[in-house]
Amino acid sequence: MTSGGETAKTKMVVGDPSYFPDKVEKDGQVVRCICLMNHPIPNTGDIASCQVIIPQREAKRNSGKIVAFVGDPRGRRGRERERVL
């Protein structure tokens, strides 16, 4: 890569596939969704955020699932809804 007259060289580049359309091949898909909740997730000890990992065997799929729970770090759960990504 060259920028500002300087060139950087590396053995591997990590980036979004849309930047390298001639070097990638689609072999699956990723589904992302957002769910707004008006309550915290049960059995999490009322913490501000957590991550739930569902192994592929339990999900009965070829890959596992990761659910990120992001709450309001200021504890204003009454005013803002909880977000599950």
Give residue-wise pLDDT tens across range 10-36.
888 888 888 888 988 888 777 777 777
| Domain extent at residue 69 | 22-85
Q: Which H or E run includes 57?
A: helix 56-59
Q: What is the pLDDT of residues 51-71, one digit of tens each?
A: 888 888 887 878 778 877 776
**Given a cut of 60, is residue 83 above it in pLDDT?**
no
Is residue 46 one of the residues assigned to a domain? yes
Domain count, the chain: 1
Q: Kindly report the backbone phi and psi dihedral angles of residue 59, in degrees, each rounded to the nearest multiple of 5, phi listed first.
A: -80, -10
The answer to whether residue 3 is domain-embedded is: no
Answer whether residue 57 is part of any domain: yes
Q: Which residue has the higher pLDDT, 77 or 65?
A: 65
Is residue 27 situated within a structural domain? yes
In a domain, 8, yes or no: no
The answer on pLDDT for 84 being more than 60 is no
Judge whether residue 80 has pLDDT over 50: no
Structural domain contains residue 16: no
In the numeric block, the tokens 């980036």 are attached to 15
